[in-house]
Structure 1
Amino acid sequence: MKINLMYDISVFGVAMSHMTSRTGIYRVVMELLNELQKSEEINLLLANTAEPVYLKKTKEFLIENGYEQRLNNKLVYNLPNKIFGRGKRILRNLYSLLGIDLELIEYDTEAFRKADIFHTPFYKIPNDLKNFSKLKRCITIHDIIPVLYPNLHNKLLETKEIISSIGNDYAICVSENTKNDLLNYDGNIDPNNVFVCHLAADSDKFYPSADSEKFKEVQNRYGLPENYFLSLCTLEPRKNLERLIRCFNKFVLEHHINDLSLVLVGTKGWQFEKIFEEINCSKNLKDRIITTGWVFDEDLASIYSHAHSFYYISKYEGFGLPPLEAMQCGVATVTSNTSSLPEVVGNGAKMVDPENNDQICDAMYKLYTDSALKNELETKGLKQSEKFSWCKTTERHLDIYQSIIR
């Protein structure tokens, strides 16, 4: 018997409105959607629980990606009665001016009664859904870093709301480390209601790319050098980029390296200013530290594959997709020995203490001077990356859905 799964795709409306939002979470939600819609065990329903302003963009996404046929006349939106009551006529006029189709946002109680499970892969579980007693509800928890380290993140209130929305419902954590964090933080959550499912990197986007013509195009587009250390992440304090820049400078100056640059790929995030201050303090080396900003997905394999080595010295991660992407592209990878990262990289990467400059500099030196070690990490990284795939992730989700129903 098929599972009637209602899958929340609110992330896509936001991503269609802001191109730079098409990064980690967006890719995760997209990949799982692609796999779920292929499954013969699932009858897929789509929901949107974000603000009405994103509904038009969500529908545009569905049309653009061939999912419009998945809509049962309307895109479910859970709008509280206290808002959509006496002011209904005013809201109708407002939505009309914004170009929002009101038929898409009416509260579709029949769809919720039909569904067996409601799964939100990012946003909190809507409180009103708890009125449907037969509907099982689950949420993906990517991390709870804002409540563990509020100095490293600016989403404290949103994270607290996400955790509090779980209640007696179910959670799917992206790593064992994140599961432990969640249960240690909130002792009221039933451990039997919390599952673990690792993420994956899309094999169509992340693969060893030896195409020199493609790399020339990418070089011209982003101003990349021939020989570079690479880091890819949102530019924010948690990613430890200031320390990475300082270690790069120290390594280059102490060993008189003249043919190497540091490339930082990623959009500006929370409190990014200090990263650029660190670059400006690099004196004669600042021209060898290159920031690309956001890059197109189709360029990522080439950027990863042509890097000398990859560095992800994050202070804390719920999963850590970039090291997995790098390993899958065949790049020697250095990452932190903290949080979930050892769970992801296994023996496929060199791990360092993210607070220890000497260890980071030593890893740079060894990979730069020891080609045998570099080749060994490339091989081990590729092998480790084979343990992860979206097919395996989806199979695990199907098992979890069955467990929840039972």
Structure 2
Amino acid sequence: MRIVIDLQACQTPATRNRGIGRYTLSHIQTFVKYAGNHEVFIVLSNNFSETIAPLKAMFSDLLPEDNIKVFCSLTQLVDIGSANSWRHLAMQEVYQDFIAMLKPDVFLHTSIFDALSEGVTGILNGNPGLNAITLYDLIPYRYASHYLADESMRNWYLKKLQLLKNADILLAISEASRLEAIELLNIAPERIVNISSAIGDHFKVCELSESRKAALREQYGLSERFVLYTGGIEFRKNNERLIEAYGQLPKSIRQTCQLVIVCNVDPAARERVLRIAKGAGLSPRELVLTGFVPEDDLVDLYNLATLFVFPAFHEGFGLPALEAMACGVPTLVSNRSSLPEVVGRADAQFDPFDPASIAEAIATTLENPERLAELSRHGLEQAKRFSWERTAKLTLEAFENAHRAHIEERTGQLNGVKAVPEWPLPKLAFVSPLPPSESGIADYSAELLPELARYYDIDVITPQESLSQHWLQANYPCHTPEWFAEHHQQYDRVLYQFGNSHFHSHMFGLLEKRPGTVVLHDFYLSGILNYLQQSGVAPGSFDEALYLAHGYPGISVVAREGYNEAHQRFPVNLAVIDHAQGLIVHSEHSRELATRFYGPGYGDDWASLPLLRAPKQLMDAQEARQQLGLPPDSQIVASFGFVAATKLNNELLDAWLATQENNPRAYLIFVGRNSLDASGQRLVQRIQGSSARQRIRITGFASVEDYNRWLAAADVTVQLRGGSRGETSAAVLDCLVAGKPLIYNAHGSAAELPEGVACRLPDIFTIEQLSAAIEQLLGNPQELADLGAAAIAYRERHAPAEIARRYAEMIEHYAREHGRANRRRLIQRLRALPGHAEQVPTALTELACVITQNTDQLHVPVCYLDISGLSAELSVAERQAIARLLLEKTSHWRIELIERDENGDYFLACVKACEILDIPARADLPLLTRAGDAWLHLEQAVAPARQYARLRRTGTLRRADLSLITPAALSEWLMGNTVAVVQEDSLELSA
């Protein structure tokens, strides 16, 4: 399981130094020790920044630092009353989004009741896992007339109770609290688990020296014998009745014993307590108010006390009673709420509402040495029953049992997954080219739509004026991209079929406006973006996308080698990846390319689904040959798809000519349109110069009918590839699902084909190897038949019905869990908040920054080199060193120059970078860092601006500066004698 725990209870001023904070810290520290193989994350709030480092230190030996997440929040969040209503509601939504990004199987909030802090509390709405809350007590609800008389406080508290009712698991700290929730909130008993409580090991019997005893008595004004109480001065603690009861003790006891109240007492409370004591007849020496006592002194006071009395009539647990027993002091408690289960002895209890009952219990104990000794022995044994180990194990057991039951409950849904509700079907916008567009993706989409329509109510979005297939016309309303841009809110889901051709030109703007699931048929999108810029359809689009995806190495190639080289070398697809609400690819090769270009993590959450290929109902081979005008006894080798250098068509021609040029029965057919580049021209020239030119054809664009005729007629199919750009060959799969013997080289996605379904050549093969394979198959009918049968057996993997089901699963998965989907819902919720429209721009900007900083979206990490401290005129060596950094990508980081303006704010110094690289200038840009970026500022530079400090405080930057690196070392680096190495989580300079 992945268990996420909100630890703000250990941060807020109201709780961190009191019982809840101490309980939570001990509980969770021990829980992490016993979590075993479960993954535990802790969430802290940056609004209590002074507590972050100490808490991280406390968990440093228990959790990886990356498992401690800091939530970035607005301030002014106290949500009782209306003054901060909008800010608090906004942060509730952002908090939900932040927790959802961690994808918890169990999310535990350790303290949802904190009315006056800057914290944000809640459970994860719509959590596909489980929500848990630590339940301390329901005291305010039980005594509402006292605690909830104020309307705003009452409303606040009742909202918190609704969270308790909504939670899947309540971790009660006592059986009394558990039963109280069942009684008052009508919560099902099986949802509440008593995990009990415990205390620190330092609460124990201590042998105090005589000098230590004397020092304590002198410091606090204590007599030889005293009755101790610790806990607080408030309504339910019942201090007034304790003082009254003490006043009823026999004079003989009061003359030799004091009542000592240990707690922080403000002046007003002190005056009131002293007034009560005077009214009860106590002399000034009989009552001692110590005020705040350090923990070490408290332990010693427990050990020094004659008797401990705890008169509270309602406690969630009653830790002071357990502390006292563990220190060996005889202990008497109230017979109400949780205290009987703490003390575990009926004759050590009294009626807290009757001062006489309290007085009698105290008197009969103080006057009986044997009873004192017996209660001391009992307390020591009873205290052993409570431990943080036991509480942690009970917590883990509760989580594991609930998680197991949760999974079992969903098993029926998970087996034979129904990706979406049966009715009403979600409305899906399907954005793709469709027939008659001369695009393989258009044909692919036409095959997918009828199967996907089992799961969605589909509209087609395409710029085409008409659809050629009757099925499409009859079943799917068609809208233009312009219409969709105005009406995209009507759709529950959007699916984009992206390829690297002009048929997809309109999709970039639509995706940015309305994110959806993207099917990335071609990993490289540089071709279409280059076309959009060079044709004037979208001026500057390739330049901007190239800089975004590949930084200065990309735009430097354009400046020095031209656009053709740049679009061949770089995929230029990062904008599409970043805007997608989930990605579907058709091979693991696409994931490998993502890692190669953008670094670890990219592609990890992509869905790799087999490319859909419908079984083709092909005509008889002889009939196909007759229709194509070929002899019945011909031996046909065919290759399918666009004829281009990357398809190695010239190599295929060489191999075929080597053994078949003089075979009058042999035909070589290239089924597809020829390219107009040098490779295509060379292919034509070589065909024309061959003696077999009458038996070699390039068909040009083939209709579906002609394509299938050639596929039916072929004896052997050959699909070769070099320079893969992440696409999956539909032609390879067409050959396989048609049951045609196939020769292919193990390049790109084709390398993922299983052994035995086709004739595999090495990625880099020789002409002789290819020629031998062709000759072997054409001369061996049995081998042809065996490969054909293996290909047919393989085709079920690509069956349209199964692929459509998996499509629907992934679309729904991304709609539920993808960061962009969550962000879209978050923004919608924020816009709907009361008072949102009245917020000033600065408040909305602040909120936008918080959302950005909380976003855990994967991105290429950036190392910002602060050149503000360098002189205006850089030396040649400095220019060369900086240029080397900008152009030489290190461990998938990119380097950006930043400078500080006259207001002390930083910006991306693009003009300076281009000047250093001697390439056409780009305008400077605003600086927006993201989590995981790094900031490399020069030691001799003036102190960084305020935004730097804020980003460090919120944990955005991984490493702040080069404080461990001397100016001399930095100078060496800038002179080019050392190299800056950006590692996964730090920056270093090395020789």
Measured against the shorter chain, the TM-score band is 0.7 to 0.9
Instruction: Tell me the secondary structure at the aligned position of residue 203 of structure 2.
Output: coil
| Structure 1 residues 107-161: Cα deviation after superposition (integer angstroms, max 9, x where no partner) | 6467521x22111122269457214x32311001110011111245467555433
Return the alpha-carbon distance in structure 2 between the equivalents of residues 251 and 208 of structure 1.
28
Change (3 A) 1:106 1:403: closer
Deviation (angstroms), 1:28: 0.6
Return the alpha-carbon distance in structure 2 between the equivalents of residues 349 and 176 of structure 1.
20
| Structure 1 residues 180-202: Cα deviation after superposition (integer angstroms, max 9, x where no partner) | 21122122x33321111111121
Return the alpha-carbon distance in structure 2 between the equivalents of residues 142 and 182 of structure 1.
10
Deviation (angstroms), 1:45: 0.8
Pick aligned residue for 1:142 from 126, 132, 136: 136
Matched, 1:48 2:44: yes
Return the alpha-carbon distance in structure 2 between the equivalents of residues 181 and 256 of structure 1.
38
2:21 partner letter: Y
Return the alpha-carbon distance in structure 1 between the equivalents of residues 329 and 275 of structure 2.
29
Change (3 A) 1:343 1:137: same
Deviation (angstroms), 1:366: 1.2
Return the alpha-carbon distance in structure 1 between the equivalents of residues 3 and 310 of structure 2.
36
Unaligned runs of 5+ in 2: 78-86, 88-94, 114-119, 405-991
In structure 2, the residue matched to 1:23 is: 18
Higher mean C-alpha displacement, 262-271 vs 355-364: 262-271
Higher mean C-alpha displacement, 116-125 vs 223-232: 116-125
Return the alpha-carbon distance in structure 1 between the equivalents of residues 328 and 363 of structure 2.
19
> Where does 1:96-135 land on structure 2 (aligned, <5 Å)?
108=98, 111-113=101-103, 115-123=104-112, 126-127=121-122, 129-131=124-126, 133-135=127-129
> Any conservation in 2 of the 1:333–1:377 contact (CA below 8 Å)?
yes
Deviation (angstroms), 1:390: 0.8
> Any conservation in 1 of the 2:131–2:169 contact (CA below 8 Å)?
yes
Higher mean C-alpha displacement, 314-323 vs 346-355: 346-355
In structure 2, the residue matched to 1:100 is: none
1:303 partner letter: L
Matched, 1:288 2:286: yes
Matched, 1:380 2:378: yes
2:29 partner letter: N
Return the alpha-carbon distance in structure 2 between the equivalents of residues 217 and 348 of structure 1.
36
In structure 1, the residue matched to 2:183 is: 184
Deviation (angstroms), 1:279: 2.8
Instruction: Tell me the secondary structure at the aligned position of residue 337 of structure 2.
Output: coil
Matched, 1:229 2:224: no
Change (3 A) 1:216 1:71: farther
In structure 2, the residue matched to 1:245 is: 243
Return the alpha-carbon distance in structure 2 between the equivalents of residues 403 and 198 of structure 1.
18
In structure 1, the residue matched to 2:50 is: 57
Return the alpha-carbon distance in structure 1 between the equivalents of residues 154 and 302 of structure 2.
32
Return the alpha-carbon distance in structure 1 between the equivalents of residues 28 and 212 of structure 2.
29
Higher mean C-alpha displacement, 291-300 vs 152-161: 152-161
Return the alpha-carbon distance in structure 2 between the equivalents of residues 42 and 359 of structure 1.
50
> Any conservation in 1 of the 2:262–2:289 contact (CA below 8 Å)?
yes
Return the alpha-carbon distance in structure 2 between the equivalents of residues 391 and 269 of structure 1.
36
Matched, 1:35 2:30: yes
TM value normalised by structure 2: 0.35
Instruction: Tell me the secondary structure at the aligned position of residue 316 of structure 1.
Output: coil
> Any conservation in 2 of the 1:12–1:61 contact (CA below 8 Å)?
no
> Any conservation in 2 of the 1:236–1:268 contact (CA below 8 Å)?
no
> Where does 1:260-279 land on structure 2 (aligned, <5 Å)?
260-268=257-265, 272=269, 274-279=272-277
Change (3 A) 1:106 1:78: farther
Deviation (angstroms), 1:239: 0.9
1:34 partner letter: Q
Return the alpha-carbon distance in structure 1 between the equivalents of residues 266 and 168 of structure 2.
32
Higher mean C-alpha displacement, 172-181 vs 144-153: 144-153
In structure 2, the residue matched to 1:97 is: none
> Any conservation in 2 of the 1:311–1:334 contact (CA below 8 Å)?
yes
In structure 2, the residue matched to 1:320 is: 318
Instruction: Tell me the secondary structure at the aligned position of residue 129 of structure 1.
Output: coil
> Any conservation in 2 of the 1:79–1:107 contact (CA below 8 Å)?
no
Percent of pairs with identical residues: 25
2:139 partner letter: I
Matched, 1:170 2:169: yes
> Where does 1:57-96 land on structure 2 (aligned, <5 Å)?
57-65=50-58, 67=60, 70-72=64-66, 75-77=69-71
Instruction: Tell me the secondary structure at the aligned position of residue 165 of structure 1.
Output: helix
Instruction: Tell me the secondary structure at the aligned position of residue 360 of structure 2.
Output: helix
> Any conservation in 2 of the 1:46–1:70 contact (CA below 8 Å)?
no
Change (3 A) 1:280 1:77: farther
Return the alpha-carbon distance in structure 2 between the equivalents of residues 29 and 123 of structure 1.
12
Return the alpha-carbon distance in structure 2 between the equivalents of residues 279 and 297 of structure 1.
27
Deviation (angstroms), 1:362: 1.3
> Any conservation in 2 of the 1:233–1:239 contact (CA below 8 Å)?
yes
Change (3 A) 1:329 1:107: same
- Structure (1 or 2) with the larger CA radius of gyration: 2
2:327 partner letter: C
> Any conservation in 1 of the 2:317–2:338 contact (CA below 8 Å)?
yes
Change (3 A) 1:239 1:157: farther
Change (3 A) 1:348 1:148: closer
1:47 partner letter: V
Return the alpha-carbon distance in structure 2 between the equivalents of residues 109 and 228 of structure 1.
50
Deviation (angstroms), 1:267: 2.4
| Structure 1 residues 51-90: Cα deviation after superposition (integer angstroms, max 9, x where no partner) | x532x0231332453549644287342759xx9xxxxxxx
> Any conservation in 2 of the 1:120–1:140 contact (CA below 8 Å)?
yes
Change (3 A) 1:377 1:296: same
Higher mean C-alpha displacement, 262-271 vs 172-181: 262-271
Return the alpha-carbon distance in structure 2 between the equivalents of residues 146 and 153 of structure 1.
5
TM value normalised by structure 1: 0.82
> Where does 1:148-159 land on structure 2 (aligned, <5 Å)?
148-153=142-147, 157-159=155-157
2:170 partner letter: A
Pick aligned residue for 2:204 from 189, 203, 207: 207
Return the alpha-carbon distance in structure 1 between the equivalents of residues 123 and 357 of structure 2.
50
> Any conservation in 2 of the 1:229–1:310 contact (CA below 8 Å)?
yes
1:172 partner letter: L
Deviation (angstroms), 1:304: 0.7
Alignment length (residue pairs): 371
Higher mean C-alpha displacement, 4-13 vs 205-214: 205-214
Deviation (angstroms), 1:349: 6.2
Change (3 A) 1:164 1:381: same
Return the alpha-carbon distance in structure 2 between the equivalents of residues 317 and 362 of structure 1.
22
In structure 2, the residue matched to 1:195 is: 193
| Structure 1 residues 26-61: Cα deviation after superposition (integer angstroms, max 9, x where no partner) | 211111122123222442211136xx532x023133
> Any conservation in 1 of the 2:277–2:287 contact (CA below 8 Å)?
yes
> Any conservation in 2 of the 1:5–1:42 contact (CA below 8 Å)?
yes
> Any conservation in 2 of the 1:77–1:107 contact (CA below 8 Å)?
no
2:395 partner letter: H
1:209 partner letter: C
